Structure 1
Amino acid sequence: MFYHTLIITIGAFFSKLLGLMRDVSIAWLLGSTTTADALTIALRLPFFFRRLLGEGSLSIGLTSICRHESICSNSGIQLTLRIAVIFALIIGTISSVVWFIPTIALDILAPGFNWEHTVHSETIQLFRICLPYIIFAILTSGCIAVLHSERHFLLPALSPVLFNSSVIIFALISIGYTPIDRGVFLSYGVLCGGIFQWMSQLPLALYLKKAEPKVDYNISILTKNVLKIPKNIFIASIPQLTFILATALTSFLPTGHVASLFYAERLIEFPIGILSSAIGIVALPVLTTIYRQNKLSIFGDEVSKNVSLILAINFPAALGLIAISMPLVQAIFYHGEFNFQAVNITTFALCAYAPGLPAIALSKTLLSTYYAINNQTVPFYVGMLTITLSFLLGALLLYFFNIIGPPLAASLSLWFYCWLLWKKLHCFIPVHFPFKKVSLQLLAACCTFILCYTTVYFLSDGVPVITICLVVPIGIISYVASLYLLDKKQLIQIIKNIRYPTSI
């Protein structure tokens, strides 16, 4: 398990690093101008489906289907690939309609945006270029599900690297062109990135398919599984939907706020993918096997261990992001068209998103647990409550706190989401929440935050990059030392859990 986790972690690190370079290039080329807002809105739907379909969210649901079917009839790969193709055809048809009437989709994504004729035309143009990417994201998701089910993690881990590399290459090509032309180049980079991702996964998925006995599924089985996908999509998209709601509410604010919120989201996603996603991805096939063997006690222990590990990693990450938010935004984005006002807005948005970082990571682990027990009903209804809360709370906080309101509402709503998922999980399996361990982790993270924030304060007049290079090691050492003093045994156990995320 350590080998698989390491592969996903390394792949995620390079993917997020290239993703950060991609966003830096966009910020450098466009800043927080109206063109940046237009591109952000145009990319919102394709990027939403990329997070949802191409990088593990929907593929978790398809992995569950593939794994269950492989155990029962040894034909899960065929079923999964057929489901992906059918769903891609359905979404492709819907996307074709949206392509001809994009205004409706854009008004939903940004209802408060002040559309000028030029900006509106530009956004429609960019949106139409990016829209076909969704089809390739679905096909990629089916291939990734097959590979994860068969314990092949290297290619899926490197898949996002191809996407980000494509966008970066097109960004470099666009240097010297007008902002509008730069947006067009970046949009084509997104589309080509989707094609590259799919083509990189397809050969191995087809090779694995040959090892299965050929099965002709009747229409009822295919229909039953295809109808599960919309529910799986909604379940997997709760964090992304809260982000979309935050963007929609932020569109009522002045120019530049939407783009700044997007940049803050990108900074939040970097720590999520490094280890947290890897734990959920690697654990899902194992948890599914344990549950099918009816070892509920072992299953509950594995879930509790994963929850403790996720929070141990993400508590210090969240508070650390808040502590270094200003120098981090300055170091990464404060170049070219990105001015100091944009730095301040992005910093505020980042500080509002950061408290939700542990909740986002925890939700991935809890969803893997529900997929393992083949229960999507509870996450579906809990997700509906979460989205409703996020919208109402976001509208209220927007009135009082401006740019901080919508992302803060998203963070609070995601904690509500995790709390309710955990509470309902008791109805199906015997699980216990590690209160003592989590409390000590939070206390150690708070001590780390105080030290890091104080260091940043005294170095506020220095070079941002140097400040970050000093504060990050200080934070890591401080957290490890604090946890060692508070609970030495837990620190040793965390290190073991990172090395061996699952016992089986």
Structure 2
Amino acid sequence: MIVTAWRATSLAQGTPPGYCAGLMLYRSFVTVGGLTMVSRILGFARDILIAAALGSGAIADAFFVAFRFPNLFRRLFAEGAFNAAFVPLFAKRLQGEGADAAKTFAEEAMSVLLITLLAFSAICMLAMPWLMLILAPGFVADPDKYDLAVLLTQIAFPYLLCMSLVALLSGILNSMHRYWVAAAAPILLNIVLIAAISLAIALGYSQKPGAGIILAIGVFIAGIAQTILLWVAVRRAGMRLSLRRPRLTPGVKRLIGLGIPGLISGGITQINIVVGTVIASMQAGAVSYLYYADRLYQLPLGIVGVAIGVVLLPDLSRRLQAGDHRAAMDSQNRSLEFGLMLTLPAAVALAVAAEPIIRVLFERGAFSPSDTAATAPALAAFACGLPGFVLIKVFQPAFFAREDTKTPMRYAAFNMIINVAGSLALFYAFAQMGYHPHVGIALATSLAGWINALLLWATLSRAGNFQADRRLLRNLPLIILASIIMGAAVWFALGPLAPYFSAANPIYLQLSALAGLVGLGAVVFFGTVLLTGVLSPSQFVRKLRRAS
């Protein structure tokens, strides 16, 4: 089964750059992005329930800090950063040495990873009362919130161990062109947490510590469910892994050498968000405001950025291993074009319509109008950095595929310094001006993301590893123009639709108004894109049939 799949891959590698190769890449993007969209929509349903039950009070802050730490590792591992080290090495063995050598390497990596993280998890869970001083120093002023955050983090922490296995198994499947199962795994997390918060509400635990405890247990259960799903999928793909005695073989040493910088560089956006959480803990409710805003801008970033990160790395690794540098360059150009065509309009829309979006999705139950007023500007600030975050997802795989994780790591370290300094400076500056201090944290995160993206682009360009082709140079200004036109249309529509966004209206009326606003933006943007020739429906259909 593995051999058959790999032969099909080898044939695909011979595809010349152009529309057919681009469409094959787009199909993979759509597979991963579509399932990620399902996961993020369920995530919204989850967060709407959490907002209604917990609002932005002490229990919500405690749970979000508890969830942030294992969730950081989920995003570091499952959404591409671990793959930065594992996928190129696994793909090299699969293509150059065969399935047996690749299986051996995966088993060696799994054994070392498990024993390391078992020890790490045990130490962290025991030391959590002291680690919380680092994770949320502002909670010290409220002992009850501090103790609850410690307890919830200890309950949820084993999720990290599950995600280490999920990451490795996802890397195996992605290297074999089997994207959908790994992309679907996060759906289980949201289903379990929706069930958990629904149970808490049914038991009368709204705004009570019991709701946080049930949610933390749900995180742990979701990790086990995702691990089982991926394990079964890998076995069905013909890769039957078994545990080995942990040994630092040459392959494992190489994985560690690439993995540590890869985790830092690939996960810098998430690390910056954790840094922001630490600083935000000094302001009551700020952790929750940033969490809700983060969830919204993570929707397009997850659908587009994660899809690009997951698909592009193995694609570039295979093409570079085969010496097809022209096709690798085309993959990067098409990924950049695809990413910006979806995220630029999303960023503009989130910035222009932040307040009605927050109000309609979250303002009910324990989530008050003052919470909307505090969360909306944070969402707009995060939206400013959204295209930069996607550019990072496009440019980093070009380094990782060449087994260079140190260059992105250096830029990530610089990025983190900018983020920490900027967050602290803007947090206190905004507080002095009487404005929401946590918005400064969101702005600093966006600024740091853009600087990181520009550094990656400049380095690739100087080395000759990225050059914008004629199609990208033609389409990019048109995509920017279409986004500006769409933003203007959405801004003008906000006035007439404002009465329908009121929390006093039935939820179906609010959602209908928001859907109408989103629909208007989509029609204006894609209509402009079609009129300017960025997309040609007839040409797309013709090439799709030819590629089939």
**Per the shorter chain, which TM-score range?**
over 0.9
Q: CA deviation at 1:495?
A: 8.5
Unaligned 5+ runs, structure 2: 1-23, 431-436, 502-509
Alpha-carbon distance in 1 for matches of 2:35, 2:270? 22
Alpha-carbon distance in 1 for matches of 2:295, 2:412? 23
Residue 536 (structure 2) aligns with: 492
Q: Kindly tell me: are residues 117 and 215 of structure 1, through their superposed partners in 2, closer, same or farther at Cα, counting changes over 3 Å? A: closer
Report the number of matched residues: 498
Alpha-carbon distance in 2 for matches of 1:100, 1:284? 37
Residue 445 (structure 1) aligns with: 483
Q: CA deviation at 1:425?
A: 0.9
**TM-score, scaled relative to structure 1:** 0.92
Residue 268 (structure 2) aligns with: 238
399, 402, 407: which one aligns with 2:442: 407
298, 306, 317: which one aligns with 1:277: 306
CA contact (8 A) 1:42 1:123 kept: yes
84, 98, 104: which one aligns with 2:110: 84
Q: Deviation per CA, 1:311-362, whole angstroms, max 9, x where unpaired?
A: 1111001001122211111111111111111111111110110011112222
Alpha-carbon distance in 2 for matches of 1:323, 1:144? 36
Question: Which residue type is aligned with residue 351 of structure 1?
Answer: A
1:133 has 2:159 as partner? yes
- Judge which range, 278-287 or 130-139, deviates more: 278-287
Residue 187 (structure 1) aligns with: 216
Q: Kindly tell me: are residues 72 and 218 of structure 1, through their superposed partners in 2, closer, same or farther at Cα, counting changes over 3 Å? A: farther
1:473 has 2:519 as partner? yes
CA contact (8 A) 2:62 2:145 kept: yes
In the TM superposition, what are the counterparts of 1:50-449 in structure 2 within 5 Å? 50-74=74-98, 75-175=101-201, 176-178=203-205, 179-208=208-237, 210=239, 219-253=249-283, 255-401=284-430, 402-433=437-468, 434-449=472-487
Q: CA deviation at 1:444?
A: 1.7
- Judge which range, 323-332 or 272-281, deviates more: 272-281
Q: CA deviation at 1:436?
A: 4.5
CA contact (8 A) 2:173 2:182 kept: yes
Q: CA deviation at 1:270?
A: 1.1
CA contact (8 A) 2:262 2:406 kept: no
Q: CA deviation at 1:112?
A: 2.8
Q: Deviation per CA, 1:20-78, whole angstroms, max 9, x where unpaired?
A: 11111211111011111111111110111111123343234322221122122222233
Percent of pairs identical after alignment? 23
Q: Kindly tell me: are residues 210 and 301 of structure 1, through their superposed partners in 2, closer, same or farther at Cα, counting changes over 3 Å? A: closer
Q: CA deviation at 1:207?
A: 4.7
Q: CA deviation at 1:227?
A: 3.7
CA contact (8 A) 1:8 1:278 kept: yes
Alpha-carbon distance in 2 for matches of 1:211, 1:339? 51
Alpha-carbon distance in 2 for matches of 1:27, 1:164? 15
Q: Deviation per CA, 1:194-227, whole angstroms, max 9, x where unpaired?
A: 0000010112324546589x99987233233234
Q: CA deviation at 1:435?
A: 4.5
Q: CA deviation at 1:83?
A: 1.3
Alpha-carbon distance in 2 for matches of 1:407, 1:417? 16
- Judge which range, 275-284 or 48-57, deviates more: 275-284
Q: Kindly tell me: are residues 4 and 367 of structure 1, through their superposed partners in 2, closer, same or farther at Cα, counting changes over 3 Å? A: same
- Judge which range, 129-138 or 153-162, deviates more: 153-162
Q: CA deviation at 1:82?
A: 2.8
44, 50, 54: which one aligns with 1:20: 44
Residue 13 (structure 2) aligns with: none
Q: CA deviation at 1:379?
A: 0.5
Unaligned 5+ runs, structure 1: none
Question: Which residue type is aligned with residue 522 of structure 2?
Answer: I
Q: CA deviation at 1:366?
A: 1.4
Alpha-carbon distance in 1 for matches of 2:239, 2:529? 50
CA RMSD of aligned residues (A): 2.6
Alpha-carbon distance in 1 for matches of 2:539, 2:390? 18
Alpha-carbon distance in 2 for matches of 1:77, 1:40? 38
Alpha-carbon distance in 1 for matches of 2:538, 2:366? 43
**TM-score, scaled relative to structure 2:** 0.85
Q: Deviation per CA, 1:149-199, whole angstroms, max 9, x where unpaired?
A: 111112112101111111111111112343100000000000000000001
Question: Which residue type is aligned with residue 259 of structure 2?
Answer: I
Secondary structure at 1:459's aligned position in 2? helix
Alpha-carbon distance in 2 for matches of 1:193, 1:438? 40
Secondary structure at 1:306's aligned position in 2? helix
